[in-house]
Amino acid sequence: MTEVIQPTSPEVTQVNQKVRQSYDAFKAKGWKLNLTRGKPSSSQLDLSAELLALPKVADYIAEDGTDCRNYGNLQGLAEARKLFSGMMGAAPEHVVVANNASLALMHDTVVFSLLKGTCDSATPWSKQGEVAFLCPVPGYDRHFTICESFGIRMIPVALREDGPDMKEVERLVAQDASIKGMWCVPKYSNPTGTVYSDAVIERLAAMKTVAADFRLYWDIAYTVHHLTEEQIEIANVLELCARHGHPNRAFVFASTSKITLAGAGLSMFAGSKENVKWLLARFTPQTIGPDKINQLRHVRFLKDEAGILRLMDRHRALITPKFQKVLDIFDKKLAGIPDVTWTRPKGGYFISLDVPKGCARRVIALAKEAGVELTPAGAPFPYGKDSEDRTIRIAPTFPELSEVAQAAEGVALCVLLATAEKRPK
């Protein structure tokens, strides 16, 4: 991947030598740093410590008299559905609360659609020939893995400042009946932090699709995960879909993985009456019900929507300095470097760093050599292929602040070195 350095002038040579020296010095320190993991830090998890002793030995009856310890209740506890109703943008009867992984809800709705069809499908997707999903890029690798796993063709579409390239999206869904779905992280998108504009959301809700059973996989993973005081709100996709005559178009997914405990939280689904009915019918052969004790535990701990927002403020206090540190270091070290840009997310878990074409792999390799683990190049793209080899996902939440700083310094040095190596002859 490397090219022979062919400096154009003694000045450039000198700068390059300095970069190389700094990199070597950094590397010599033998760091073991990791910016790959979009997961909460130990301090963030401590914020929900109370959960580990809840609901308490005599507390297991739900408000409707359900014994939460026993079987049953496919849709989830009424009080849990009420708790997340605001976040999900849907009335409690349109919300389903399930076990710990929203990824499982997304995976399983794809699987159910393949084997059984949606409530609007004439036949199961798997009987309709090729199935394709639109994938705004860069995006979330685990969305793409679901498609890849089941042979669903992924069609990348560019993610712009205000969301996916709608002209392209509208063109594709209007002509290709095999396009059955689209992955969307409409708020504080992984990895760019992009927030879809209300206009984009309305176009997604209104657009004509050849496939009658087209679905927006609307993953609001970061809906209350603000990094600034701004606390952006976006348009309600369920309402807009209904208003535009496509009430069943959106499947909305969320979880408390980055609110309470990443491995032991709750997942949520919201959709139209028909979609909820469909999902519960698909759940019927799969389970007798979700873990209602964990739902009660969360209700007792979070209490209400205000409780969720208060908790998110405390996360913000822990996370924002880490993002700020990365941005400060990038500003200081990388400002003005041609074709090097990065996002300044107002929420979510990631910063997306773009380097000159053909440099991302090299930066990641240099970082690894120097003890800084980064997400593999290409991860935010379908099939793991970043055709321009440009985009690097930075996840600053998990390490301690001091480690984030060191890692960001290291990444900046690697970008400088990789771009120096690439400098035009």
CB 64 within 8 Å of CB 78: yes
Give the residue with the Cβ less far from its own copies, 223 or 294.
294
End-to-end CA distance of the chain: 16
CB of 178 to its own copies, least distance (A): 18
CB of 403 to its own copies, least distance (A): 16
CB of 81 to its own copies, least distance (A): 16
Angle at the Cα of 83 from the Cα atoms of 81 and 88, rounded to 5 degrees: 70
- DSSP state for residue 226 in the 8-state scheme: B
Whole-Å CA distances, 94 to 121, 274, 369: 20, 9, 50
CB of 111 to its own copies, least distance (A): 6
Give the residue with the Cβ less far from its own copies, 260 or 391.
260
Give the residue with the Cβ less far from its own copies, 5 or 74.
74
CB 257 within 8 Å of CB 102: yes
CB of 254 to its own copies, least distance (A): 15
d(CA 15, CA 330): 18
Give the residue with the Cβ less far from its own copies, 40 or 247.
40
d(CA 272, CA 11): 64
Angle at the Cα of 249 from the Cα atoms of 245 and 251, rounded to 5 degrees: 145
Give the residue with the Cβ less far from its own copies, 146 or 204.
146
Residue 49, both tokens:
């410590």
Q: Where are the beta strands (DSSP E) in 25-90?
A: 33-34
CB of 40 to its own copies, least distance (A): 7
d(CA 244, CA 214): 14
Give the residue with the Cβ less far from its own copies, 162 or 291.
291
Give the residue with the Cβ less far from its own copies, 69 or 332.
69
CB of 277 to its own copies, least distance (A): 15
- DSSP state for residue 347 in the 8-state scheme: B
Residues near its own copies (CB under 8 A) are 39-40, 42, 45, 48-50, 52-60, 67-73, 99-101, 103-104, 107-108, 111, 114-116, 126, 142, 145-146, 148-150, 257, 261-264, 284-294
**What backbone torsions phi and psi does residue 216 show, to the nearest 5 degrees?**
-85, 115
